[in-house]
Structure 1
Amino acid sequence: MRRISLTLLVTAFAALFSAAAIADQRFDRFVADFWPTAKASGISSSTYRSVFTGMDPDPDTLRLMEKQSEFVKPVWDYLDSAVSEARVTRGRELLTEYDTVLRNVEARYGVDREAVLAIWGMETNYGGFMGKHNVIRALATLAYAAPRRTKFWRSELVKALSIVQAGHVRFSDMEGSWAGAMGHTQFMPSSWEAYSADYDGDGRRDIWTSVPDALASTAYYLKKHGWQTGKTWGYEVVLPRSFDFRMADDDMSLTLGDWRRQGVRRANGRDFPRPGDKAILVMPAGASGPAFLMLRNFYVIKRYNNATAYALAVGHLADRIIGGGTLAGDWSREYMPLSRSETAELQSELNRRGFNVGAADGRIGPATRRGIRAYQKARGLIPDGYASVVLLARIKLDS
């Protein structure tokens, strides 16, 4: 019996190593076939050989590129972690430590220093963890094996090779995420090419080891995407009881003065300093959580990362770093967001009851929000359009 078990174990290991060898052979073939593309983009044969000799696919990248998270992290859990007291405290220390750099960056690019600092804190915990993957290896793995966006990954790979060839960073020091985001503030190679800055004038745009270069690069990125100097990202607000929740569609833009005439007030009781600024009402957890009027700078932050929770966390962290308080509103934490499969179930239930939302694809778009609002209104609920486990349970109880 032991002999049989040992034979099975040896066979399993042989199969594993055989599969790995086949994968490496295919990767080697990809590297050889990609050389003409790299050469046409100006990459030298010496750079190409020095980078790819002995390289194999990044196993973490192979594993994570197919990983689909079934559950959505609630915005309140995200904020608890992203805007922790430890991160706020460290941000305040660094605001002092890098005072001269941040003031110069703010003057040069017109981007408020606390916003730049908050993105640094969000992306790598102020340089505490910038990723442990070699960026070229990760991008080569994606260009070789990713089932989607092949053209994008190949383009990023060429740009990463160009960065090394130009001497901005050594290949061995080019660390980042499993998907190729690099340095203190996690730029993709294309973003580095377009927006990185040489703060100290040494001829290198070094976002890996030079904090000033990384901060300047982030400010330049925000400036080029439309940052409005001296203006905030948004305001936490309180809605009147009679509020028309159809106005909270993540799209309707009114001046702050017009929102005030609708009965919307700042949560801290102060007036809006510039009533002419335009804003969109956003309720990340529907009527069960805090509401915000988001200004232009909020959507500039979303150009860095398109998640509403991310941009809210950056804005809130920036406020906390310069002395702002915690959010005034409470999250009703039982109103958990839906997973992808639960969203598809909700869509099917709405369609079955005549609230047509289109295909039950597990994605919440305008049609699904309209269907949710129509259902909520028909049942005497607050029509906030927010998909939660509470709403799904309520629909399933309907006859």
Structure 2
Amino acid sequence: MTRFIIVLICALWPVMAEAQDDGFADWLADFRPRLVDSGASPETVAAMLDGLEPDLTVVERDRDQPEFVRPLWQYLDIAASDLRVRNGAEQISTHNGMLAAIEERFGVDYEILVAIWGLESSYGAIQGDRDIVRSLATLAWEGRRRRWAEAQLLAVARMIDNGYANRDELRGSWAGAMGQTQFIPETYLARGADFDGDGRIDIWNNVGDALASSANLLSQAGWSRNAPIVIEIVLPETFDLTSWDPNGARMTAEWSMRGIRRADGADWQADTLMQASRLVLPAGRRGPAFLTFPNFRALMRYNNSTSYGIGVWLLSRRFSGEFAIRGEWPDDDPPINRSQTLALQQGLLDLGFDPGAPDGLFGPNTRRALMGFQRDNGYPVDGYAGRVMYDQVMAAISAAADD
């Protein structure tokens, strides 16, 4: 039976590939005149689209939702590893004058820029080697993010026509990000910065242009120099999470009055107390706790991931010496995988807590539903989908079935 299936697939593969090629050709025929109408030169249109074929591995990457989720503490071990810290410190020493000038011009702390550089491309060493035109065209043809991908292709045409990059230089990630700081084309056009004034924004080969572009992005997102980004804190044992909104900000003074103190034992500074901050519990009530400030939200404009933001902050702190998160991570309570998340969502739905349509992805609706379950059943209302809480929801479902 297995041999028959293999033979059948081999026989059908040319037909399947031809159908895929036909679909891509249809998309290409539809997009080409729109690229022309956008003002792209005939030479650029030809350079981008003539002979273009889809990259099916891009479709696989885009549709692939990993079954397992890496715990934040494991991610941080990689993001702020000793090797990455050592390499970053060497880059700071090498480019000290340039970094100081970028910080002065854009008002963005240079340690943060170097940390972004380290996480995005290992300080320029790993920028991606895919043809981003092909990758973006494949994503547009696939259809899930068609409008976004086509907008990026229109931006690529403007980049080429403006002389910012040659067609052959447009290499990057499977998702269309490029250069040492991994900008997508629209962001490149909107936030790219020509630091050395040579008339070209070269984020591939020019470290100054790459880091100045990141600085410009953060500056436009509201970055405030020398202001707090993240402060690790300690919650009092009696801290009540029932009214906690993960997306809500309070004045730090209010958090302080509720018994929150700095994990390093330092006193709160007066200007910090007057800033709004959000309480973040990335591994639940048992893990380290943080207050995040407006600069952290600026980092979210670069990459909308709490793990990424904490990784950038931690790496930037480690450049100047020994620094570590003081709280203990719950090694016995790792985040649940995608199959378990799907079961959790269905279980919450069955118990009367609506997470939306179960899809195996833990988003805001599922978090609210889980917090509702926690609130009604006397658990800490931290919204953390770890193995411990998964087991509690499954136990509640079994108990309900027995009644």
What is the TM-score of this pair, normalised by structure 1? 0.91
Larger CA deviation: 284-293 vs 273-282: 273-282
Following superposition, the deviation at residue 163 of structure 1 comes to 1.0
The answer (yes or no) to whether the contact 2:139–2:145 under 8 Å persists in 1 is no
Q: Which one of the candidate residues 304, 307, 311 is aligned to 2:305?
A: 307
Kindly provide the amino acid, as one letter, of the partner of residue 200 in structure 1: D
Kindly provide the amino acid, as one letter, of the partner of residue 33 in structure 2: P
Secondary structure of the equivalent of 1:182?
Answer: coil
In structure 2, the partner of 1:233 is 229
Sequence identity, in percent? 39
Kindly provide the amino acid, as one letter, of the partner of residue 227 in structure 1: W
In structure 1, the partner of 2:380 is 382
Count, aligned residues: 392
In structure 1, the partner of 2:33 is 36
Give distance in 2, aligned partners of 1:294 and 1:88.
22
Question: What per-residue deviation string (whole Å, max 9, x for no partner) do you get for residues 355-382 of structure 1?
Answer: 5555444444555444434443554433
Give distance in 2, aligned partners of 1:373 and 1:203.
53
Q: Which one of the candidate residues 285, 288, 291 is aligned to 1:287?
A: 285
The answer (yes or no) to whether the contact 1:253–1:280 under 8 Å persists in 2 is yes
Following superposition, the deviation at residue 239 of structure 1 comes to 0.8
Secondary structure of the equivalent of 2:242?
Answer: helix
Secondary structure of the equivalent of 1:212?
Answer: helix
Following superposition, the deviation at residue 302 of structure 1 comes to 0.7
Give distance in 1, aligned partners of 2:322 and 2:226.
16
Following superposition, the deviation at residue 388 of structure 1 comes to 1.3
Larger CA deviation: 201-210 vs 352-361: 352-361
CA RMSD of the aligned region, Å?
A: 2.3
Give distance in 2, aligned partners of 1:39 and 1:390.
56
Kindly provide the amino acid, as one letter, of the partner of residue 90 in structure 2: E
Secondary structure of the equivalent of 1:286?
Answer: coil
Secondary structure of the equivalent of 1:178?
Answer: coil
In structure 2, the partner of 1:168 is 164
2:122 matches 1:125: yes
Secondary structure of the equivalent of 1:287?
Answer: coil
- The runs of 5 or more residues in structure 1 that have no matched partner are none
In structure 2, the partner of 1:254 is 250
Secondary structure of the equivalent of 1:245?
Answer: coil
Following superposition, the deviation at residue 319 of structure 1 comes to 1.0
Give distance in 1, aligned partners of 2:356 and 2:138.
36
Kindly provide the amino acid, as one letter, of the partner of residue 139 in structure 1: L
What is the TM-score of this pair, normalised by structure 2? 0.90
Larger CA deviation: 349-358 vs 273-282: 349-358
Following superposition, the deviation at residue 166 of structure 1 comes to 2.1
Give distance in 1, aligned partners of 2:198 and 2:27.
36
In structure 1, the partner of 2:109 is 112
Give distance in 1, aligned partners of 2:276 and 2:316.
21
Kindly provide the amino acid, as one letter, of the partner of residue 216 in structure 1: A
Q: Which one of the candidate residues 69, 81, 105 is aligned to 1:84?
A: 81
> Taking structure 1 as reference, are residues 89 and 23 closer, same or farther at Cα in structure 2, changes over 3 Å only?
same
Q: Which one of the candidate residues 183, 187, 191 is aligned to 2:187?
A: 191
The answer (yes or no) to whether the contact 1:298–1:311 under 8 Å persists in 2 is yes
> Taking structure 1 as reference, are residues 64 and 361 closer, same or farther at Cα in structure 2, changes over 3 Å only?
closer
Give distance in 2, aligned partners of 1:104 and 1:203.
18
Kindly provide the amino acid, as one letter, of the partner of residue 223 in structure 1: S
Give distance in 1, aligned partners of 2:356 and 2:169.
48
In structure 2, the partner of 1:392 is 390
Give distance in 1, aligned partners of 2:49 and 2:364.
46
The answer (yes or no) to whether the contact 1:136–1:161 under 8 Å persists in 2 is no
The answer (yes or no) to whether the contact 1:198–1:204 under 8 Å persists in 2 is yes
Larger CA deviation: 212-221 vs 32-41: 32-41
In structure 1, the partner of 2:323 is 325
Secondary structure of the equivalent of 2:285?
Answer: helix
> Taking structure 1 as reference, are residues 109 and 29 closer, same or farther at Cα in structure 2, changes over 3 Å only?
same
